[in-house]
């Protein structure tokens, strides 16, 4: 009986992590791909704010006349609150990526909840608003974190296409190619505006990829909409 209880506890802890796999996510939890209408694409960025990367991304978004969503880390917000303020000033959304960038499935329930709470408090202090959307670190969910998110009124979301732009070897062509391998129409694009958890200066390739991505989206008749609106 004890073994069965342990098995249930383990399943509750790590079971939701299976949605990291695109095929399972689309089949079992399509809402995690992002609630965008057909013909529209949400552009999102993780791991900021970053004093160089985020500002460079913001400048390119201005040029493209795009509005995006930035999933920020509380630990980074405490370091660079002015960058968050600037992100909001330019009309973008700031949502929660967590406080620290650690796997939730490796955390006990109270630690997962504390991470979300501290991240929420930090964002609230800087922005004056409570985040409503949450993307877990590495896109890996856990049962206790989902329960905590529900209590805190956070809506979890992952992505439908990612650019693998955290790698030093990534180029603007490879980033856009990886994005096109996912679901763009009505989907959510995952990119990064920070190299805190990525190879140094990887955000430069991300910035370079945005104009090419704009061309590809235009060819498909897709428009960029601000996530969560």
Contacts of 126 (CB under 8 A, 6+ apart): 77, 81, 84, 85
Question: How many whole angstroms separate alpha carbon 183 and alpha carbon 180?
Answer: 7
Per annotation, catalytic residue among 92, 192, 193, 195: 192
Helix, strand, coil shares of the chain, percent, nearest 5, are 50, 15, 35
Q: pLDDT of 190-206, one tens digit each?
A: 999 999 999 999 999 99
The strand pairing partners of 156, in sequence order, are 134
pLDDT of residue 229: 66
Question: How many whole angstroms separate alpha carbon 72 and alpha carbon 133?
Answer: 11
pLDDT of residue 23: 67
The strand pairing partners of 96, in sequence order, are 72, 134
pLDDT of residue 13: 47
Structure tokens at 130: 């409570």
Regarding the domain delimited by 2-224, which CATH topology (the fold level of the hierarchy) does it fall under? Answer: TIM Barrel (3.20.20)
- pLDDT surpassing 70 at residue 211: yes
DSSP state for residue 169 in the 8-state scheme: T
Q: Work out the average pLDDT over 162-177.
A: 96
Active-site residue, 92 included: no
Active-site residue, 50 included: no
Question: How many whole angstroms separate alpha carbon 172 and alpha carbon 206?
Answer: 7
- pLDDT surpassing 70 at residue 9: no
Which region among 83-87, 110-114, 133-137 has the lowest average model confidence (pLDDT)? Answer: 110-114
Q: Per residue in 189-201, is it b (16+ CB within 10 Å) or e — as a string? A: bbbbbbbbebeee
pLDDT of residue 4: 46
Q: Which pLDDT band, with edges at 50, 70 and 90, does 188 fall under?
A: very high
Question: What percent of the chain has a predicted confidence (pLDDT) above 70?
Answer: 86
pTM as predicted: 0.91
Could you tell me the residue ranges of all domains in the chain? 2-224
Question: How many whole angstroms separate alpha carbon 132 and alpha carbon 220?
Answer: 30
Q: Which pLDDT band, with edges at 50, 70 and 90, does 106 fall under?
A: confident
């Amino acid at each position: 009986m004890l073994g069965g209880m342990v098995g249930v506890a383990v399943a509750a802890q790590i079971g939701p992590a299976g949605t990291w796999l695109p095929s399972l996510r689309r089949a079992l939890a399509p809402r995690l791909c992002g609630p965008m209408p057909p013909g529209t694409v949400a552009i999102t960025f993780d791991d900021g704010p970053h004093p160089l990367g985020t500002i460079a991304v913001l400048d390119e978004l201005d040029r493209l006349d795009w509005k995006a969503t930035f999933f920020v880390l509380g630990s980074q917000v405490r370091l660079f609150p002015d960058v968050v303020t600037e992100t909001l000033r330019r009309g973008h959304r700031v949502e929660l990526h967590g406080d620290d960038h650690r796997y939730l499935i490796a955390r006990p329930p109270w630690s997962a909840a504390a991470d979300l709470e501290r991240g929420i408090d930090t964002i609230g202090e800087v922005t004056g608003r409570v985040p409503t959307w949450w993307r877990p670190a590495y896109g890996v969910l856990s049962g206790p974190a989902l329960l905590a998110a529900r209590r805190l009124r956070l809506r979890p979301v992952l992505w439908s296409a990612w650019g693998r732009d955290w790698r030093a070897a990534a180029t603007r062509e490879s980033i856009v190619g990886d994005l096109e391998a996912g679901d763009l129409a009505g989907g959510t694009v995952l990119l990064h505006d920070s190299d805190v958890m990525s190879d140094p200066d990887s955000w430069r390739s991300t910035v370079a990829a945005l104009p090419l991505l704009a061309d590809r989206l235009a060819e498909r008749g897709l428009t960029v909409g601000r996530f969560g609106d």
